[in-house]
Amino acid sequence: NKLRLTYRLAWEKGTGPCGPGCNIFDVGKEVSYFSTEIASLKWVDGNGTILHDVSYVLTSVSRSDMNGWEQGEAIFMAGLPSTPMFVRLTHIPWIMSSNTLANDNGMLETVIRTDLISDKGTSNQSPYSSLPSFLGIAHNCTSVIEIPAEDPDGDKVRCRWAEPSECGSGRTNLPINSVWLDPGTCKVTVNTAGYDVNSTYRLAVMLEDYVPYKVNVGSKQHRTGTALSKTPWQMTLRIIRVACDNTLRPYFVFPTLKDNARVFYSKDMYRARTPVHISYYLTTLKINGSLDFMISGPSFMKYVYESDDLNRTDVMKLSVYWTPKPPDQIADFQFCVWGVDTMGITSKAKCVIDIIFEYDYCNQTQCENNGTCRNIFDNPLESCVCDTGYVGTNCSQ
C-alpha cells in the first residue's frame, strides 16, 4: 500500500546537494548540502503536503570544473493516494540561458495513476528516462537528440513539449522554427543556425504512456490513445563553436553492449552479493582532446576509469558497478552514459536496462503476428509487445 517515487536531478558542479568540492570520491554517498538557493526545495503532492527534499545519492560528477556537472538519484515512499496524484517540485533555480535570465521559477510536475488497469490486473507504472546533465551540440548544425524514454510495464511512450503550467519558467526557450519534436520516437531535431555561440538553452518535455486500445482504469473506461500518466524531462542544451561534423563527436565502440540491452539480476545473484557490472568504451578523434563520461544511473552505483582491454590508445573504458538494495531497488533501472570531450560536445547516449530480481522470460515466450518479446518486470504475461491491431499475451488476437 505504498507508492515508490524515484527522481534524478542534475546541477552545475558545486551548486547541488553535493556542495562545493564535490568529486568522484563522493559518488555512492548520500549528500544533503543545501545552499540558500536549494534549501527550501521540497517535493509536494497536490495538497501541498511535503513528501521529500532534494537530497540524493550522488551518481555522477564531472572530473573537470569546466562545463562541470553533478547528478544524483533518490527514492522515497508515499502513501497510496487517490488517483490521479500530482507531485511537484517548484521554485527550481534554473541557470541563466541565452534569452532568459537566471530565476527560481522552474518547476517539475508528474501525474501518477494508481488504479488497476484491466489488461494487466496491476497498477500502472509511469514512464521514465535517464537524464543527461547537459548536452553539447555544434553551432550552425542540425543535431538530433534522442530521449531514452522507457515504460516499466511495456506501454507505448510518446513525448510532447511541456506546458508552462507543468514546467514554469523552465519551459523550452529555443528560437522559434528551429526545433522539432517527434512524439512517437521522442527525438528532438535542432537546427542551431542563428543561435548564439557558446549559449545555453532549455528543453522541457513530458513523457506520457498510453495503450492503443480500450482498457478500464479503475471503474472507468479509458479512452484509446489518451495518456495514463506523465513524467517530466528537462535538460540544458549548450551550443559549442566547433566544426559541423558528426564524425568528430565522441562515440562508443566494441565491446560496449548494444543500445537498450536488457540484462537480468536474479535473486541468486543478490544472495551472493554479485554486483551488476557494465563496461562502456569510448573513443574520438584527437582533435577535441581528452574525454569524460556523463552518467545517469541508479543510486549507490560506483564507477571507475580504466585502461582499454584491447590496448587501444584512443579508447577510454568506464566500468560501472552496482549492487541493488532491496526492497526499494527491486524493479527495472536504466543506466545511460554519454561521452563528453574537452570542448563540451557530447555523444549519443548508450543505455542499458537492468531488471532486478527477474528472469529472462523471452527464452520461453513466442510472440505472434510480428510481436516483439520484451522482458517486463514482475509480469511475464506481458512480455509480448504487440504490433498495431493485435492484443493478447502472445499477440494472437
CA 79 to chain centre: 24
In this predicted structure, what is the pLDDT of residue 101? 58
For residues 162 and 204, the answer to whether their CB atoms sit within 8 Å is yes
In this predicted structure, what is the pLDDT of residue 287? 45
What backbone phi and psi angles, to 5 degrees, belong to 361? Answer: -70, -20
Q: Give buried/exposed letters for 100-115 (b at 16+ CB in 10 A, else e).
A: beebeebbbbbbbbbb
Looking at the DSSP bridge assignments, the partners of residue 66 are: none
Q: How many CB atoms lie within 10 A of CB 193?
A: 11
Q: What is the mean pLDDT of each run of 10 residues along the chain (397 residues)?
A: 90 93 94 92 93 96 88 90 86 70 80 78 87 92 94 89 92 91 96 90 94 78 85 94 77 90 81 89 65 92 92 91 86 90 89 73 76 65 71 77
Cis peptide before 20 (omega within 30 of 0): no
CA pair distance 162, 234, nearest whole angstrom: 9
- Closest to 352 in 3D by CA, of 372, 374, 337: 337
Gyration radius (Cα) of the chain, Å: 21
In this predicted structure, what is the pLDDT of residue 99? 59
Q: How many CB atoms lie within 10 A of CB 175?
A: 16
Task: Kindly give the pairing relationship between strand 350-356 and strand 261-265.
Answer: parallel
Tell me the whole-structure pTM to 2 decimals: 0.88
What the block records as the C-alpha cell of 371 is 510481436
What backbone phi and psi angles, to 5 degrees, belong to 363? Answer: -65, -20
In this predicted structure, what is the pLDDT of residue 43? 96
CA pair distance 29, 50, nearest whole angstrom: 24
In this predicted structure, what is the pLDDT of residue 361? 65
For residues 40 and 50, the answer to whether their CB atoms sit within 8 Å is no
